[in-house]
Structure 1
Amino acid sequence: MHALQEAQPLVGSGFTPTDLARALLIGAAVLLVSVAAVRLANRSGLPTLLIYLGIGVAIGEAGLGITFSDPTLTQVLGYAALILILAEGGITTNWQTIKPAVLPAAILSTLGVLVSVGVVGVGAYLLLPNLSWQVSLLLGAIVSSTDAAAVFSVLRRVPLPPRLTSVLEAESGFNDAPVVLLVIALAQAGAPGGADNAWWVVVVEAVIELAGGAVIGLVLGYVLGRLMKSAAPGSSGLFSIGVLSVVVLAYAVADLAHTSGFIAAYLCALMLGNLHLPHFSAVRGFAQALGWLAQIGLFVLLGLLASPVRLIHQIWPAVVIGLVLLLLARPASVLLSMSWFGFSLREQAFLSWAGLRGAVPVVLATVPLTVGTPHTEWIFDLVFVLVVVFTLVQAPTLPRLAALLHIVDESHTVDLELEATPLEELNADVLQVRIGDASRLHGVAVHELRLPEGANVTLVVREGKGFVPQNRDVMRHGDRLLVVTTAGARGAAIRRIRSISKAGRLAGWRRDPQPAPDDDQAS
């Protein structure tokens, strides 16, 4: 006992079990409130990020009095959270769905970003007082990135045509990497003693870093994914940890190699998510759980860092820059990027309005503070206000705007996850089909769908009541169908449903006025 008492002073006492209990109490309470808030977000059509930011502000210095003012720690934890969010986005994205959208999304994430930065930079220089060109362009770069978490959460509730959904999802996954590189370059150039490189040097370095990160992510995802597939453990939980570890490894290797860690993480996750890994339902669920945890932690942390007193002074500048971004910069970037790929003006208008901002711009607003760029302390507050205000404006109006522009998918098809059913062992998929008000599936009998062998309509839900359909049962507007299909017949089943939804029961027997896409298009 005497020896133990003498040893006690050597043990650090900065964080005690009592402190741990308090931290766990606050953390668990925040998580429970955040989980409960998802229902409110689903009803309102708002991304959950606004509620989580509000929770952070509520428990911060103006609410419960928890003080937090460390931009460096915020940036580090923000990067960690973005890795998990990108991992979820990549793993849960079907390559066949986004394949036609990869090139348009890549152009929008590079050329479109540069256009947006330029327009916002000019607007900030002309409309905000006492700003240099360098700080104006830095502000334009910070707000130019769409947010994967915000886009994914809203698009799940908007029945869009697959190619629009694919472009938005791919763009939000791709554009973090170039924007991070651009923000860091501009912030370092404006810092005391920063390198004053020519613009073409910055562009070349960015291209090299993006290409290097892409190669690292794809190679690690493919090689390690194949190895894990051939030596998968019996435990789905352990396998899920291994898959997410590969994504984190890709980020770390790419970053230490001075290439883009974010593009490496996203492409690695995309590769892993499309290798037909065993235990994939468990992997997908684990990635989504970590993604939610990362979103909650990140947004609450950003809310803690914000000060309501400071935010008030940035409302008007945030509205000005937000209007420039929403009405000028985003439409210009979409017009110059998407016109080459056959997107109509109505589709481009929706893409312009759907460029949601979220955690990424707010995290990037801490970069000038950590780098030491002078006269940029206000940027965090302005970006925070901009994200909140324009998310409130844009997100709830997306379903209505899609309907006004007549781009709603009347036979919206989504994948369903049935965790209790061993779909992998059965080599099967389950799809949900919603028959919209203008769909020509209305009045078509089940047998007239002529689904491929291996696919069948197993349940119809009409006015809240479900029944197992017979071949001669007729489908109606507003019906929701469950289609069970083998993995091999999945793409053909989706194409058949889309074709009949557009051209009626005679689709396939005569020339369709609007032929269905050839690719597998479940959103």
Structure 2
Amino acid sequence: MVALTSVTSSGMTLDDLTRVLLIGSVVLLVAVAAVRLSVASGMPSLLIYLGIGLALGNAGAGIEFSDASTTRVLGYAALVLILAEGGLTTKWSNIRRSVAPAALLSTVGVVVSVLVVAAVAHTLLDLSWTISLLLGAVLASTDAAAVFAVLRNVPIPRRLSGMLEAEAGFNDAPVVLLVVALSAQGLPGAEPRPWWELLGAVLAELAGGAVVGLAVGYLGGVALRRVAGGSSALFSIGVVTLTVLAYAAGAAVHVSGFLATYLAALVLGNMGLPNRTSFQSFATALGWIAQIGLFVLLGLLADPLRLDEQLGNAVVIGLVLLVLARPLSVLASTVWFRMPWRDMAFLSWAGLRGAVPVVLATVPLVAGTPNTGWMFDLVFVLVVVFTIVQAPPLPWVARRLGLTEPVHSIDVALESTPLVEIGADVLTVNVGDESRLHGVAIFELRLPKGAMVTLVVRGGESFVPEQHTTVRHGDQLLVVTPSSARQATEQRIRALSREGRLAGWGNSASERARRLGGNPRRLT
């Protein structure tokens, strides 16, 4: 059996370093190659990375690893980088309208989910209320990365993608605070804290984390803009370092460092800093490394020989999450916004779990909370089983609910051209099978001033369009637009996709809706 030696151990030799680098390099290369398999199968790559960890563990290659404390520490470090990447690459314009319902999903929804899971666990698994609430808190956090990995080629409305993205960025913070507090409350001799006192402490830490994150993000961004040199690489290091500083500053003053990290990254990513493409690419690379390392580490910590002992309980609790807790949390959080039932149904099914619940399952182990040794195994099995159950049908669910859009536009990051300096953005537009852009000539698009279609990809071949070139289903259009007109360009393309070449004229649905004060979709 090969022992996994700690890097911090004084006994580490060059031979140990060679083995660590060899294993680490092979794991990363396999993980990179596994992304293709993930895309082809429609399964989030997290399952492949967990499988790599299991294959390397004591039931596979024989690497022994059982240190829950190290897993929690490294897991927190990975989550900081993952949250930083999420905030830096999120556009405020995409989530602005989703922030309010996402904030409720991350607070009210979390409470509802915790209470429902706790009630069932207390009844069916014969657990104490403290341990039942702890299990509910561990399982309350969702993972947007898993959802977007599955929906990579299924464009859903921004109101939904923005809500899932914002919810995943926000809900880690309150969930971590709840898990830590409940783990401490479950220790022998600990005095039970009233629910209102626990809730008040969580809200206070969240408010403090928000203040720290916004301050570090804005002030750090202003300072970095003034003092940083012309190197995009150094600037990228500075931006990511600020997000890590936000976590450290928040944790140092005993407020939510995770919320501080996400908000600082969100501010930095949306304040018009130079070299945006570079620091976003750097953060994305670090986020991938953090995810791969985290999932492999969690796979190493799991013991396949005892996972089957928790299969039955994991299925029961997972079903409670899927058909009861998640729908009720979505209903309680979004009913105030008159959200259509189709949106609520999709959000309920899309509540995938990822690395965060598995990491948080190590918290009571490290704290020494009695009667929690089984929790890591149950959560691990639940995440694996219900990712397999929920992920593959997710594109079908979106299409079945009529939530896919006929046209989809995404930003294109170009390293070779200083787009920030010339004030330009590049978009790709995928023309879906139901889009009414089909048959519209380039000159009929009437895009905002300065915006133009520079390239068309059709049937695997690309060409420069002329004014009378007509758009077809399945085309990919490369659109260059001034940054100031990007939003107007996207709105124009979406209107054309819904209404065809007459979009914007007096007899179009959007114009009739504007006059009547109604919803364009109700008039078509």
TM-score, normalised to structure 1, is: 0.94
Residue in 1 that maps onto 2:395 = 399
3-state SS of paired residue (1:453): coil
Deviations 1:372-428 (A, max 9, x none): 111110010000000011111111211111111110011111111122222222211
Tell me, yes or no, if the aligned pair for 2:506 and 2:512 is still in contact at 8 Å.
Answer: no
Q: Find the partner of 2:494 among 488, 494, 498.
A: 498
3-state SS of paired residue (1:406): coil
Q: What displacement does 1:119 show?
A: 1.0
Give the stretch that moved more between structures: 186-195 or 443-452: 186-195
Residue in 2 that maps onto 1:175 = 171
Q: What displacement does 1:148 show?
A: 4.1
Residue in 1 that maps onto 2:202 = 206
3-state SS of paired residue (1:505): helix
Residue in 1 that maps onto 2:31 = 34
Letter in 2 for 1:150: A
Distance in 2 between the 1:74 and 1:13 partners?
A: 20
Letter in 2 for 1:378: W
Tell me, yes or no, if the aligned pair for 1:459 and 1:468 is still in contact at 8 Å.
Answer: yes
Deviations 1:60-92 (A, max 9, x none): 000000010011110000000000000000000
Q: Find the partner of 1:259 among 214, 237, 255.
A: 255
Q: Find the partner of 2:57 among 57, 60, 67.
A: 60
Give the stretch that moved more between structures: 408-417 or 74-83: 408-417
Residue in 1 that maps onto 2:81 = 84
Q: What displacement does 1:152 show?
A: 4.1
Residue 384 (1) aligns with residue 380 (2): yes
Residue in 2 that maps onto 1:240 = 236
Would the alpha carbon gap of residues 405 and 348 (structure 1) be closer, same or farther in structure 2, given more than 3 Å must change?
same
Tell me, yes or no, if the aligned pair for 1:161 and 1:412 is still in contact at 8 Å.
Answer: no
Tell me, yes or no, if the aligned pair for 2:147 and 2:391 is still in contact at 8 Å.
Answer: no
Q: Find the partner of 1:277 among 264, 273, 276.
A: 273
Q: What displacement does 1:33 show?
A: 0.6
Distance in 1 between the 2:437 and 2:483 partners?
A: 23
Residue in 2 that maps onto 1:482 = 478
Distance in 2 between the 1:316 and 1:327 partners?
A: 17
Residue 450 (1) aligns with residue 446 (2): yes
Give the stretch that moved more between structures: 473-482 or 200-209: 473-482
3-state SS of paired residue (1:314): helix
Residue in 1 that maps onto 2:320 = 324
Residue in 1 that maps onto 2:521 = none
Letter in 1 for 2:184: Q
Give the stretch that moved more between structures: 498-507 or 248-257: 498-507
Residue in 1 that maps onto 2:113 = 116
Distance in 1 between the 2:153 and 2:66 partners?
A: 35
Tell me, yes or no, if the aligned pair for 2:114 and 2:136 is still in contact at 8 Å.
Answer: yes
3-state SS of paired residue (1:489): helix
Q: What displacement does 1:517 show?
A: 13
Q: How many aligned positions are there? A: 506
Letter in 2 for 1:249: L
Deviations 1:113-153 (A, max 9, x none): 1111111111212222x311221111111111002432343
Letter in 2 for 1:466: S
Residue in 2 that maps onto 1:105 = 102
Q: What displacement does 1:104 show?
A: 0.7
Letter in 2 for 1:297: G
Q: Find the partner of 2:134 among 111, 135, 138.
A: 138
Distance in 2 between the 1:489 and 1:344 partners?
A: 30
Residue in 2 that maps onto 1:414 = 410
Residue in 1 that maps onto 2:67 = 70
Distance in 2 between the 1:169 and 1:370 partners?
A: 30
3-state SS of paired residue (1:434): strand
Unpaired runs of 5+ in structure 2? 1-8, 515-524
Q: What displacement does 1:155 show?
A: 4.1
Q: What displacement does 1:190 show?
A: 0.8
Residue in 1 that maps onto 2:356 = 360
Tell me, yes or no, if the aligned pair for 1:55 and 1:303 is still in contact at 8 Å.
Answer: yes
Tell me, yes or no, if the aligned pair for 1:446 and 1:475 is still in contact at 8 Å.
Answer: yes
Deviations 1:313-339 (A, max 9, x none): 111111111110011110111111112
Distance in 2 between the 1:388 and 1:492 partners?
A: 42
Would the alpha carbon gap of residues 13 and 273 (structure 1) be closer, same or farther in structure 2, given more than 3 Å must change?
closer
Distance in 2 between the 1:330 and 1:424 partners?
A: 41
Would the alpha carbon gap of residues 510 and 393 (structure 1) be closer, same or farther in structure 2, given more than 3 Å must change?
farther
Deviations 1:11-53 (A, max 9, x none): x960111111011111111111111111111111111111100
Tell me, yes or no, if the aligned pair for 1:314 and 1:382 is still in contact at 8 Å.
Answer: yes
Give the stretch that moved more between structures: 141-150 or 236-245: 141-150
Would the alpha carbon gap of residues 298 and 13 (structure 1) be closer, same or farther in structure 2, given more than 3 Å must change?
closer
Residue in 2 that maps onto 1:9 = none
Distance in 2 between the 1:258 and 1:240 partners?
A: 28
Tell me, yes or no, if the aligned pair for 2:310 and 2:377 is still in contact at 8 Å.
Answer: yes
Give the stretch that moved more between structures: 22-31 or 118-127: 118-127
3-state SS of paired residue (2:52): helix
TM-score, normalised to structure 2, is: 0.94
Residue in 1 that maps onto 2:310 = 314
Deviations 1:219-274 (A, max 9, x none): 11000101111222121111111111100110011011110000000000000001
Q: What displacement does 1:442 show?
A: 1.5
Give the stretch that moved more between structures: 331-340 or 148-157: 148-157
Distance in 1 between the 2:172 and 2:111 partners?
A: 13
Q: Find the partner of 2:180 among 180, 184, 195.
A: 184
Give the stretch that moved more between structures: 135-144 or 506-515: 506-515
Letter in 2 for 1:211: A
Q: CA RMSD in A?
A: 1.6
Distance in 1 between the 2:189 and 2:144 partners?
A: 34
Identical-residue share of aligned pairs (%):
62
3-state SS of paired residue (2:392): helix
3-state SS of paired residue (2:287): helix
Distance in 1 between the 2:512 and 2:374 partners?
A: 50
Unpaired runs of 5+ in structure 1? 1-11, 519-523
Tell me, yes or no, if the aligned pair for 1:91 and 1:269 is still in contact at 8 Å.
Answer: yes
Residue in 1 that maps onto 2:149 = 153
Q: Find the partner of 2:220 among 209, 218, 224.
A: 224
Distance in 2 between the 1:401 and 1:446 partners?
A: 34
Distance in 2 between the 1:293 and 1:424 partners?
A: 27
Would the alpha carbon gap of residues 165 and 118 (structure 1) be closer, same or farther in structure 2, given more than 3 Å must change?
same
Distance in 2 between the 1:454 and 1:516 partners?
A: 28
Residue in 2 that maps onto 1:127 = 124
Tell me, yes or no, if the aligned pair for 1:247 and 1:268 is still in contact at 8 Å.
Answer: yes
Q: Find the partner of 2:468 among 453, 460, 472.
A: 472
Residue in 2 that maps onto 1:302 = 298
